[in-house]
Amino acid sequence: MLKQRQSPSQALPTISKREFSRRREELMEQMETNSIAILPSASAVIRNRDAEFKYRQDSDFHYLTGFNEPDSVLVLIPGRQHGQCLFFCRERDPERELWDGYRQGPEGLCNHFGADDAFPISDIDDILPGLLEGRDRVYYSMGKRLEFDKRIMDWVNVLRAKARSGAHPPGEFSDLDHIVHDMRLYKSAAELRIMQQAASISADAHTRAMKFCRPGMMEYQLEAEYLHEFASRGAQAAAYNSIVGAGKNACILHYVENNSMIQDGDLVLIDAGCELNYYAADITRTFPANGLFSREQQALYEVVLASQQAALETITPGGHWNQSHDATVTVITQGLLDLGILQGELTELIEAEAYRPFYMHRAGHWLGMDVHDVGDYKVHDQWRVLESGMVMTVEPGIYIAADNQSVAAKWRGIGIRIEDDVAVTATGHQVLTDEVIKSVDDIHQLMRPMAAKRGSIDPAQVDFISDDGHHAVPENNPAKTQTASNSKPSDQAKPALKASVKKKSIAKKKTSAKKKTSAKKKISTKKKLTTKKKAAVKRKTAAKKKAVAKKTVVKKKAAVKKKTAVKKKAAIKGRSKSSVKKRVKVKNKR
């Protein structure tokens, strides 16, 4: 069965305008009378120099508005006669839009985003103090945006300075996060549809990574495979910095360098999920790079898998948040005992947290618009009771550092985590990410056939992969259309078919014989050419040697001639000098 990619023409699930409006109404119902809520958007963030990170709206702001432009402010005033939902935003500017993209402007917010009124962001200092005046309480998340915090206090102080003139500054501030984050904890049907789609895309990405993994790859090459799957399926981004840790790197909980080579015998831990329409998926799988677990790897892996299964069984409405973690601790501690990594009595080891050097994190977290989503884990100092609509992860693990001298060498450098996304339902739970395999047998079955085939596979040419590991031929491939059009022959057509087969075989033999003779001719001609070339080269080198020898002889003769001439001249000069001396002597005698 082939798992086709979703067609680009198929609409991805989204949140309707009506749901955004319902959320704002629900928030205003929980606010005190004569109050105001103020929520600014996220700001554009500089990556380096004048280059910006890709803009991502603040999750709370998007949750209440669906509006994804920077430099915006949402103001909610329950019971206001002239409109309860107000916005401040950037004005339309054709010149800036040419550079930075389209803007909605105040008119667009009123027409498309349910605003009762909207104003230019440049007018906020003139308008917002008037909206604050006379309100008893301000709902605002203080401390998240220091610059905007200062502006809020400046507006309040302006009103306080006018108190003698009859102005009424707000008397109380309340944390807006407390209400909004509790709302976000309970997912609607529309939100769950998006999260299921994000989980399915992420699951297929993990399967893709397993199929293409091989020793000798770099971790970032494997990362590229699932990032490709995210983007090609319509996900806007990875929900967080992804982890691809091979070998001992899997023991680093937040390893994000992803720049080491994957060695034969390594386990590969991938923690990655996509973000789709502002909702995150979060999956971790651990698998052998060569497709086959070693004995020690499999023993630890099965302990982690059993602990996750025990945790999943605790997730049901009415259960509390920490039950799943407690279940993983019990199974992992017992497993470490059974393998001889820990020694002692189970209850005492759990009470002493003897498992902590090998399992040092919690078993999960809330999941939603943020990968570590908002929502309290305790209410009135008691673990939160699970309810339908909550979504959480379950991610136990065992990590034995490569330099851990307290355990036998065979266990060192093994890191394993298994993580799934789980929605609490009215009757139990639903694993959103169950499309990606995790049992030892399934991993072996998926990866071992691929190991024999993947040498000639270029991942960039694969459109989709079958469940049995075969790479599918694209629909417009002529080979596929030809084989599809050929049906089984009838009994009447069999003799003619046999004759045609014989003709084809004879023709093939003739062509093969011709090819062989032509190949032999080519080889003989090549040999002749090479011998001729070698002979010519020998001739040239011999001629060069002779010329050099002649030149050296000529040079030697010239040098000898010069030397003899110099000697003769010297002798003549000597004779002349001696004759002169004799003449001088004769004269002196006289």
Same domain, 120 and 245: no
Whether 352 maps to a domain, the answer reads yes
**What's the pLDDT tens digit per position in 442-483?**
999 999 887 666 554 544 444 444 444 444 444 444 334 443
What are the backbone angles phi and psi of residue 109, rounded to the nearest 5°?
Answer: -65, -40
Residue 559 has pLDDT above 60, yes or no: yes
20 or 8, greater pLDDT: 20
Same domain, 135 and 208: no
pLDDT of residue 517: 64
Out of 419, 420, 429, 454, the active site residue is 419
Number of neighbours of residue 172 by Cβ within 10 angstroms: 11
Same domain, 391 and 379: yes
Respond yes or no: is residue 93 known to be catalytic.
no
Identify the H or E element spanning 397. strand 397-400
pLDDT of residue 58: 98
What are the backbone angles phi and psi of residue 382, rounded to the nearest 5°?
Answer: -120, 145
**What's the pLDDT tens digit per position in 383-432?**
999 999 999 999 999 999 999 999 999 999 999 999 999 999 999 999 99
Residue 493 has pLDDT above 90, yes or no: no
Contact 350, 145 (CB under 8 A): no
Out of 365, 373, 421, 454, the active site residue is 365
Same domain, 350 and 395: yes
pTM value is 0.77
Which of 426, 445, 461 delimits the end of a domain?
461
Residue 283 has pLDDT above 80, yes or no: yes
Same domain, 30 and 120: yes
Respond yes or no: is residue 365 known to be catalytic.
yes
Residue 492 has pLDDT above 60, yes or no: no
Domain tally, the chain: 3
Contact 140, 155 (CB under 8 A): no
Residue 67 has pLDDT above 60, yes or no: yes
Same domain, 29 and 171: yes
Which of 124, 153, 185 delimits the end of a domain?
185
Whether 117 maps to a domain, the answer reads yes
pLDDT of residue 541: 72
Q: How far apart are CA 195 and CA 561, in angstroms?
A: 102
1 or 560, greater pLDDT: 560
pLDDT of residue 539: 75
Respond yes or no: is residue 147 known to be catalytic.
no
Residue 147 has pLDDT above 80, yes or no: yes
Respond yes or no: is residue 228 known to be catalytic.
no
- CATH at residue 61: 3.40.350.10
Same domain, 323 and 347: yes
Respond yes or no: is residue 271 known to be catalytic.
yes
**What's the pLDDT tens digit per position in 173-223?**
999 999 999 999 999 999 999 999 999 999 999 999 999 999 999 999 999
Of all residues in the chain, what percent carry a pLDDT higher than 90? 73
For 329-338, which contacts have Cβ atoms below 8 Å and span 24 or more sequence positions? 329/355, 329/359, 329/363, 331/303, 331/306, 331/307, 331/396, 332/303, 332/304, 332/307, 332/358, 332/359, 332/396, 332/398, 335/300, 335/302, 335/303, 335/306, 335/307, 335/398, 336/303, 336/398, 338/303
Whether 441 maps to a domain, the answer reads yes
Residue 504 has pLDDT above 70, yes or no: no
The whole-number average pLDDT for the span 481-497 is 43
- Is residue 488 very low, low, confident or very high in pLDDT (cuts 50, 70, 90)? very low
- Is residue 535 very low, low, confident or very high in pLDDT (cuts 50, 70, 90)? confident
Whether 569 maps to a domain, the answer reads yes
3-state secondary structure of 167: coil
Residue 16 has pLDDT above 80, yes or no: yes
Residue 275 has pLDDT above 80, yes or no: yes
Identify the H or E element spanning 243. strand 243-246
pLDDT of residue 523: 61
Respond yes or no: is residue 320 known to be catalytic.
no
Which of 185, 217, 247 delimits the end of a domain?
185
Residue 575 has pLDDT above 70, yes or no: no
Mean pLDDT of the chain: 87
Out of 58, 282, 420, 421, the active site residue is 282
Same domain, 449 and 568: no
Respond yes or no: is residue 429 known to be catalytic.
no
Out of 275, 395, 420, 421, the active site residue is 395
Q: Which domain holds residue 215?
A: 189-461
**What's the pLDDT tens digit per position in 351-363?**
999 999 999 999 9
Whether 485 maps to a domain, the answer reads no
Out of 254, 295, 380, 590, the active site residue is 254
Whether 537 maps to a domain, the answer reads no
Same domain, 211 and 251: yes
pLDDT of residue 497: 45
Whether 499 maps to a domain, the answer reads no
